Structure 1
């Protein structure tokens, strides 16, 4: 009887790569058909109107053959063209199954945001190494940070333009309910999020049967419907941002980025808040020197608040593989369990409750990431 020594996890990896190669063949075939049709139309069709119509019908033909709508075909062809023509390293990795369609789509979207050929070249050199070892969500964060860092001046201009478009929207739906949204600066959205999450999780009366989600919306509506007419806002939240030293000093344009990587705003926006005098700031300098707060060791099991805050700022998210739960909603866990492992920065890090439970049952063998996943500029 034949036997196999293949590790079952390797089988899953092979399946994932085979799926990605299949996605590449699908997209490459769509591009090839489109290119051949364009050549045929240019060579054979004399009427300008007919050429226009036949070119427009290419997406329809592809969609009918593959079960896609015209819009889906056009979208796929658009980012496929971008990646094939401007990121050969990514396209080659895609053909080998090292990155899949979802990652290629994110990379294509980022290339379309970059305005300088040098920036696209730098992305092509670096992105595959990160993309093939991280989840799509992590890659999306990395790409946003890359754009903000390599074209900071242009990104600040775009952010200022978008800030001018801030607005609220209201939509009434069925069953007596509706939706309300605000298009606003990310640091203000983060402050509102922090405030409402904390307030909704405070102890409630035993008779209160509402879920946390219900308490959150009830609090928001109560705040908005209060009788106060004061228009100015006061940011009262514990928000972690990182700013490069040259940006903080005003030498270069740049961004203040959230610890979890979900958002970034021009550093000047944060400076304006700091200068208002209405906000209390912690400043944590992350530097590998002997007296850095992360290098101190504490004899007890539970780290003091200043170390907890520093660790949450440093890592940003849960350190479970691919987990994007913000660090402020995580437990601070010992990599090597206490008392065998010390209560100090290099043995501590955030784990969400689910991954903390997995680690406690021996399912997750957690090690701290050596450094935050930040793209080099």
Structure 2
């Protein structure tokens, strides 16, 4: 009669948890498919509205995306992708749509397949291939998608699409080069992920240059002069200087032999009390070829470079981007462009009275030491006064124009549409109550909006698709959508000094 050991029971429990997790993931995928179907329904409503007002096509779509973005608390870009994926599933990917509904594919798989299918759809529209090619594409892609990761599925789908439409490797690379971009994503603890999508040969060249420069830094720090060097008086015309030695001169090696030099120093101090006193006054003593030299204790020695290979590469990357000049083909205005950030920090922190974290506006906390260093290299800082609740109420350098702008930049930090993180220097200042309709240019009627969200309120947008915004007494902005919903965007609470 078979008996179950503790190990067998443990294995059985682990299998149960794994099976339950896989099933839950399948159900999540099925629900994602249902959500995509709802987006297809919304697209149909959108198309009906556009057919009535074709002139306002862009405004209608912006309003739709903004509504779903605010309601679902997701970024505008993510909603754009979600609508595009849903449209692709509905229009020309019935087999993928069915697998998605069954939970066989995740939303990540669907996104990769939908993007690759755009190549096939474009070729069909241009009559480059027959409409039946899309079915072949689905069949070939699903074989891999149902057995492998989304990333591998994406690579496979792009290869299949290129082969089916007869696209050469040169054409694929030229098309892919159009997708080059640079993005920033905030991480924890004051770090951010800077991602550059570049042609592979350029990325490889950049990596190689960084590696060779890093290797040179490491080599240089290994070969650099010793930390302790003798001191000679510049007044003595017969004095010996470091440059008097060749690097291969045996006497030069004596500088680095601190243990032997200390021993010589002790022998020298035992011979004469005056020498001992001089040793105490001057610091460490070195003996070289029968002569004795003392190190000046006032000399500040450079600390050892203890950075790792990855840290050196990151520092070189930063130096090249922020301090390097653009290529000669872009001289002029480009050469004067520098990196720009906005920092909010308490005056007490700048003075060193406390170590409260500053704020890298639009991104997150910034350590106080970095904020102080930035403040020391910049001018034009403006004091801001806060009330007992911590709300910004006035600035001591207020003027009808720039003073108000400084105030608003400090208060808003980023676009004031719910969920948008576009920094204020890339936004426009908007009148919540339209200026053309009597809205005053006052702090309590102004706020920063990025161009995409500013366009939602534009007077040219028809009323059925136009958004409105109202600023409350606490600085929050309440948005009212065309569907009658209200979305509130509270002001950042940590603004103290800019």
Q: Normalising TM by the smaller chain, what interval?
A: 0.3 to 0.5
Taking structure 2 as the reference length, what is the TM-score of the superposition? 0.34
Q: Which has the larger radius of gyration?
A: 2
TM-score, normalization by structure 1:
0.43
